[in-house]
């Protein structure tokens, strides 16, 4: 049961914000912030009011049921209303608990996604390319903007590594469950015996950090420039356009050479570095709170998996929630993606609620 004081504080806060916003005296800088807070509370305030009057309403209905002079029709109505009241109370309690859960500040941020081929050689690089295409399709369907930051192709036409930024609404809260090792089971084109091979790719989703989130001192950076290595002696090789940025305190290093402009490569490199440093700090805080927290990326070994894509059986299985969908083709097209994400999100909420 949620303390009555906590619920009353929510209701009072909603009333105060309503008065402030209608007064016309709020500074423009904080108007948007207060409007967002009011909007969030607006979605829960009626549930909060009903939750807090539950006991009173319940007693009134019980009085009707206990009154010897009450006719049968009224008793039947009161019994039905009492059942509905209790059901609504339980729903309201769950909604309020979810609302009161600590918010992850990163959830509303844009994200940087990094995909790398893991165990399995060329087949792993082809699978990494398939995963990237899947996230491209998901972004298109959700009207997100995906921008390629860095890409390294394999001999077979797959991807050794690809890094992209994705911008839109609540990106990180949707994609954060993708971090981990993705395993594929299928017959490679080069397999003459028709044997199923297993390979893997790692996905890391990082919240994109703004300068206000993370202050990086220029004195902590070492920036090296060098000639980009491109195929066939293209013009990309003729200038020192490639950039390597090293954050000395953490030892993190980012190289960027996709652009012909040194300035653009540095900007892209800083975006990746800022995201990695931000996630490093978040991980450090999480580690302090929970010593059993595991690495979100893993080693790329096929045994450390969060999801398996089985082509012969046409299924995709998420091992964290033991959910299997026999919709592999649709999933890779971005069609069934939300089914797994919603289940993962619900599971995470349930685990958080159980800790309250």
Give the confidence band of 219 by pLDDT, cuts at 50, 70, 90.
confident
Q: Which of the given ranges, 35-49, 219-233, 236-250, has the highest pLDDT on average? A: 35-49
Q: Is the pLDDT of residue 291 over 60?
A: no
Determine the Cα angle at 293 with ends 287 and 297, to 5°: 105
Q: Do residues 304 and 298 touch, judged by C-beta distance below 8 A? A: yes
Which residue did the predictor score with more confidence, 135 or 260?
135
Q: Do residues 318 and 177 touch, judged by C-beta distance below 8 A? A: no
Give pLDDT tens digits for 150-163: 899 988 789 999 99
The separation between the first and the last C-alpha atoms of the chain, rounded to the nearest angstrom, is 11
How far is 335 from 333, CA to CA, in rounded Å?
5
Looking at residue 129, its pLDDT comes to: 95
Coil vs helix vs strand at 184: strand
Question: In 43-71, where does DSSP find H-type helix?
Answer: 45-52, 54-66
Stated pTM of the model: 0.68
Looking at residue 49, its pLDDT comes to: 94
Helix, strand, coil in percent for the chain, rounding step 5? 50, 20, 30
How far is 202 from 218, CA to CA, in rounded Å?
31
The burial class, CB within 10 Å (0-12 / 13-18 / 19+), for 260 is middle
Measured between alpha carbons, how far is residue 354 from residues 89, 176, 182, 350 in Å?
Answer: 18, 21, 28, 6
Q: What are the boundaries of each domain within the chain?
A: 4-100, 106-210+295-355, 218-289
Q: How many residues does the chain have?
A: 356
Helix (H) or strand (E) holding 226: strand 221-226
What DSSP designation does 69 have? T
CATH number of 106-210+295-355: 3.30.70.1660
Tokens (6 digits) for 207: 């919240």
DSSP 287-315: HHH-TTPPPSS----TTS-SEEEETTTTE
Give pLDDT tens digits for 157-214: 899 999 999 999 889 988 999 999 999 999 987 676 778 999 999 999 999 887 656 7
How far is 303 from 196, CA to CA, in rounded Å?
16
What DSSP designation does 120 have? S
Q: Is the pLDDT of residue 217 over 60?
A: yes
Over residues 93-122, mean pLDDT: 86
Fold for 218-289, please state it: Double Stranded RNA Binding Domain (3.30.160)
Q: Do residues 79 and 55 touch, judged by C-beta distance below 8 A? A: no
Q: Which of the given ranges, 123-127, 217-221, 338-342, 343-347, has the highest pLDDT on average? A: 123-127
What DSSP designation does 110 have? -
């Amino acid at each position: 049961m949620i303390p009555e004081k906590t619920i009353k504080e929510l209701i009072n806060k909603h009333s105060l914000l309503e008065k402030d916003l209608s007064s016309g005296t709020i500074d423009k800088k904080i108007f948007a912030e207060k409007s967002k807070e009011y909007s969030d509370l607006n979605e829960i305030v009626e549930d909060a009011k009903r939750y807090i009057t539950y006991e009173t309403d319940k007693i009134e209905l019980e009085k009707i049921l206990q009154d010897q002079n009450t006719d049968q029709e009224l008793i039947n109505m009161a019994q039905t209303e009492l059942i509905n009241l209790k059901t609504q109370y339980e729903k309201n309690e769950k909604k309020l608990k979810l609302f009161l859960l600590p918010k992850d500040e990163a959830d509303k941020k844009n994200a940087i996604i990094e995909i790398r081929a893991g165990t399995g050689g060329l087949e792993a690089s082809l699978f990494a390319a398939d995963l990237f295409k899947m996230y491209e399709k998901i972004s298109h369907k959700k009207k997100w903007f995906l921008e390629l930051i860095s890409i390294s192709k394999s001999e077979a036409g797959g991807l050794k590594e690809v890094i992209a930024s994705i911008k839109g609404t609540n990106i990180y809260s949707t994609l954060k469950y993708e971090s981990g090792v993705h395993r594929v089971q299928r017959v490679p084109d080069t397999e003459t015996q028709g044997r199923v091979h297993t390979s893997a790719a790692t996905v890391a989703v990082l919240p994109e950090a703004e300068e206000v989130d993370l202050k990086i001192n220029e004195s902590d950076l070492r920036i090296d420039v060098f000639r980009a290595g491109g195929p066939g002696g293209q013009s990309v090789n003729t200038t020192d356009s490639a950039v390597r940025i090293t954050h000395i305190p953490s030892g993190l290093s980012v190289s960027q050479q996709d652009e012909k402009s040194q300035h653009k490569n540095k900007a892209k490199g800083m975006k990746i570095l800022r995201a990695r440093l931000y996630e490093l700090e978040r991980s450090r805080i999480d580690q302090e709170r929970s010593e059993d927290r595991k690495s979100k990326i893993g080693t790329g070994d096929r045994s450390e998996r969060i999801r398996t894509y089985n082509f012969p059986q046409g299924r995709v299985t998420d091992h964290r929630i033991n959910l299997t969908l026999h919709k592999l083709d649709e999933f890779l097209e971005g069609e069934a993606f939300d089914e797994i994400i919603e289940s993962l999100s619900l599971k995470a909420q349930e685990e958080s609620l159980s800790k309250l």
